[in-house]
Amino acid sequence: MNIKISALQFTREVKSGSISAEDFIAKTMEQIQNIDDNLHAFLSINDKAVDQAREIDKKIKSGGKIGQCFGMPISIKDNICIKDTKTTCASKMLENFIAPYDATVITKLKQQDAIFVGKVNLDEFAMGLSTEFSAYGPSKNPWNTDYVPGGSSGGSAVSVSAFECVASLGSDTGGSVRNPASFCSTVGYKPTYGLVSRYGLISYANSIEQIGPLTRTVEDAAFMLNLIAGLDSNDNTTVDNNNEDYLKDINSGIEGKKIGIIKEMIGEGIDPSVLSATKDAISKLEGLGATCEEVSLDMVKYSVAAYYIITATEAGSNLARYDNLRYGYDFSVEGFEFNSYIEKARKKFGSEVTRRMILGGFVPSAGHAGRYFLKALKVKSKLLRQINDAFKKFDLLISPTVPILPFKIGEKINDPVTLFLIDINTVTANLTGKPAISIPYAISNGLPIGIQLIANSMNDKLLLQAAYALEKTVKLPEVPI
């Protein structure tokens, strides 16, 4: 049994009867058992997965109505709620939080007969880009286990890359889906803000983050979007996509499309191998009939600073509820005093969350908002104006997903500012709400490089068509596991 197949191929084979869901899930669970001690993608495993697959096989045999996933094994980032399942956010604070409800994306996937093989690792509360800030230890890059898998949805990328599932859902606040996808050589896609319901996603920076799929192919990403997108009464920020079919016409090609190369994302600090991969991708796109031209978005210079100020502000508010009365509970009421009680609970947060909470208490405070938070909002709106102007001229924008190659575990953990700067190419799509995708493009010294495409809001279909066209030009070696 070959488990190294795409999600769509899986559904076709189960549908045709050439494989059974049970066999495939059993094999997948075996794979997890065999390699996850080393890779540490998973925080918890669904021990009923094989039984669930057997039920689906029965349903197929009896000719019952069957969902589009046919028992497809999916991993879920551990900041998305599955009913009656631990949802820890890779934090000690939520060590014992069992979600009493399903996130909307989970409800939708359940309706389509998906099987959740387990919850996967992330940086604590999705704050980070290496999974090194997980309270339960880092995940490792399947391409080289000395290296980080990227983050924060590192567990998602590892599990897809190492065949521990066929697809995964992550969340992307500043690149958290695209960054690990780039580092682990998978597709990582952040849809337009509002296209996918966030209900059941534990908020970090709610005004800019979005749930998105990590998959083996662009087609799979489009398939996943078909399953999870759409208006949701539980999330007031969702938009109606009129049941768009993102798979239909995915092979339309990009002939005649205009693509802008974001100048600020291929300049200073870029790794030479990343730059040459980007240039190669540009020439491939031109070969497919697109015209490419440099475009400047000078607000990108300030985007990372603005991003960290805005996300810290929202995190400071979103995580305020973890206060020892309700989470991180400590039974001792000895010498009870409310503030010291909260302080006690806060000790359950790791260093990165603590850093951002302190920042989040400072940058929007009355005496400092003018210098930090309000300025960050100005950068955000100027950046939006600039990118909207760019989309008057271009259909798509292109850049490397991450300016550098994956780095070693432990290499940058004590250098938060350098870590922050790695987000430079990904945060723009979050700050402006635009859809963006990272596709595996090259391998340099055994380490993956991803290329990012960005489209205008609600042009997700065009984005997927272009990504599909570019993907078809690439032939990459298999992951060495």
Partner 1 sequence: MTKIGLEIHSQLTKLESKLFCSCKANYREFEPNTNICPICIGLPGSLPRLNQKAVEKATMIAMALNCSTPEKIAFFRKNYFYPDLPKNFQITQLNLYGNTSVGGTGILMVGEKKIRITRIQLEEDPGRLIYEGSSEKNLVTLVDYNRAGTPLVEIVTEPDFENPREVREFLNILSNLLENLDVSDPSLEGAMRADANVSIEGGNKVEIKNIGSFHDLEKAIHFEITRQQSLHSRDIPIIQETRHWDDKRKITVSSRSKEEDLDYRYFLEGDIPWVKIGNEVKEKLKSEMPESISSKKQRYISKYNIPAQVADVLSSDKFYSDLFEDAHTKENAKEVANIITTDLMGLVDTREKRESSKLKPSHLQEIADSIQSNKITRNSAKNALYEIVKTGKKLSDLISELDLGNVSDESELLQIIESVILEEPQAVEQAKSNLLTINYLVGKVMQKTKGKADPKLTLDLLKKKIQ
Instruction: Using CB under 8 A, list all residues that contact partner 1.
Output: 80-81, 87, 89, 94, 97, 99-101, 103, 198-203, 206-208, 233-237, 313-314, 316-317, 320-321, 323, 325-327, 333, 338-339, 342, 361, 364-367, 369, 373
Strand 167-172 relative to strand 73-77: parallel, antiparallel, unpaired? Answer: parallel
CB 360 to partner 1: min, Å: 8
Name which of 288 and 369 has its Cβ closer to partner 1. Answer: 369
In the complex, the smallest distance separating the C-beta of residue 201 from partner 1, rounded to whole angstroms, is 6
Determine the Cα–Cα distance for residues 339 and 323; give it in Å rounded to an integer: 9
Q: What separation in angstroms does the CA of 182 have from each of 161, 209, 300, 439?
A: 11, 18, 20, 7
Q: Is 176 a catalytic residue?
A: yes
Question: Of 203 and 278, which has the nearer Cβ to partner 1?
Answer: 203
Three-state SS for 255-290 is CCCEEEEEHHHCCCCCCHHHHHHHHHHHHHHHHCCC
Q: Which residue in 77, 108, 412, 461 is the catalytic one?
A: 77
Q: Give just the sign of the alpha carbon dihedral 191, 126, 92, 336.
A: negative
What whole-number distance in Å separates Cα of residue 356 and Cα of residue 65?
A: 48
Least Å distance, CB 455 to partner 1, is 22
Alpha-carbon 310 to chain mean position? 19
Q: Which residues pair with 438 in a beta bridge?
A: 188, 452
Catalytic residue of the set 139, 152, 153, 457 = 152
* Cβ-based nearer residue to partner 1, 368 or 393: 368
Catalytic residue among 171, 176, 203, 457: 176
Task: Give just the sign of the alpha carbon dihedral 378, 191, 29, 202.
Answer: positive
226 membership: H or E segment, kind and range: helix 218-228
**78, 120 Cβ separation under 8 angstroms:** yes
Output 2 or 365, the one with its CB closest to partner 1: 365
CB of 126 to partner 1, least distance (A): 12
* Residue 469, phi then psi, degrees to nearest 5: -60, -45
Tokens of 174: 């500043």
Residue 477 carries which DSSP code? P
Q: Is 77 a catalytic residue?
A: yes
Q: For partner 1, give the closer residue by CB, 71 or 328.
A: 328
CB of 232 to partner 1, least distance (A): 9
Q: Which token pair is 421?
A: 């700067």
CB of 325 to partner 1, least distance (A): 6
Helix pair 218-228, 460-471: axis angle to 10 deg: 160
Q: Which is nearer to partner 1, 198 or 257 (CB)?
A: 198
Active site residues: 77, 152, 176
